[in-house]
Amino acid sequence: MKLTFLGSGGGRFATITQRRMTGGIRLDGIDGKNLHLDPGPGALVRSYQFGLDPLKLDAVLVSHCHTDHYNDAEVLIEAMTRGMTRKRGTVVGSQSVINGYQQWGPSISKYHLGKSEVKALQPGEEYELGNISITGTRTQHGDPMTIGFKLEWNGFILSYTSDTSYFPELKKEHYRADVLISSVIRPGGEKIRGHMCADEFEKLVEEVSPRLAVMTHLGMKMIMDHPEEEAERITTRTGVKTLAAQDGMKLNLDCYLARQHTLDEF
């Protein structure tokens, strides 16, 4: 099981300057399937750059209707469906991504949804992709339909918050995660609406207590303020190994086997 960051940047200015890449996250060998999560600008090009074949995708997951999360979704769907010539693959997205909601979306055309199985996922709703359970998680973000994704297979849980403010119930959405991935756009305590700063992510890590925590979707201020040092600080304070994603960073998920839960946790 392999995870590749096809970009570690996010937000408007990191995206339009490409100070960090914004191609999203690729998951390979997940119960035999390959998934692309939040394919922002450059997802197709970065896939080839880092040796990943978009024609081998089995699913595209899009959390919400902001360009840095959905921009390359249609071209990846074209790759997944062999140029829209085969009925193949699955597209999972928020209600705004798939159907549109008020001024948000839809961000994928009906044409591009026509050759794949499609699921518009609500927070708290589960969808089964083979043996992979995908649960939509709650957020607080500019697109009110934004969801995170909690993926569970073979007793292993990978949880992705997507873009969201910190709120007290967020820990429940990502409870029991073995690997926790979050959008962390600013360093220290520099709060911004709809996103987490590093201090808020530290609090979430303490509450969820995953085996591994990863900050990605780094904004310009975070990029300029030594995100690796922020990750080291969180590691020291929480005791949870924390990384700041880098462009092209690869993780072997087999190193983070599912934890054994005790009765005290329930």
Write out 120-169 in H/E/C secondary structure.
EECECCEEEECCEEEEEECCCCCCCCCCEEEEEECCEEEEECCCCCCCCC
pLDDT at 266 (0 to 100): 31
Helix (H) or strand (E) holding 89: none
Per-residue pLDDT at 33? 98
Packing angle between helix 198-208 and helix 227-238, nearest 10 degrees?
Answer: 30
Distance CA 181, CA 244 (A): 10
Q: What is the mean pLDDT of residues 4-31?
A: 97
Annotated domain spans of the chain = 2-255
Which pLDDT does position 259 carry in this prediction? 55
Kindly tell me if the per-residue pLDDT of 45 is higher than 50.
yes
pLDDT at 129: 98
Residue-wise pLDDT for 202-238, tens only, equals: 999 999 999 999 999 999 999 999 999 999 999 999 9
Quote the pLDDT of residue 87.
97
Read off the tokens for 66: 């902001």
- For 63-73, what is the mean pLDDT? 98
Whether CATH 3.60.15.10 fits 2-255:
yes
CB 120 within 8 A of CB 146: no
User: What is the pLDDT, as a whole number, of residue 265?
Assistant: 42
Residue 112 has pLDDT above 60, yes or no: yes
**Cα 34 to Cα 40: distance, rounded to the nearest angstrom:** 17
- Amino acid present at 135: T
CB 14 within 8 A of CB 20: yes
What Å distances lie between residue 2 and 172, 180, 225, 234, 236, CA to CA?
A: 26, 15, 28, 24, 26
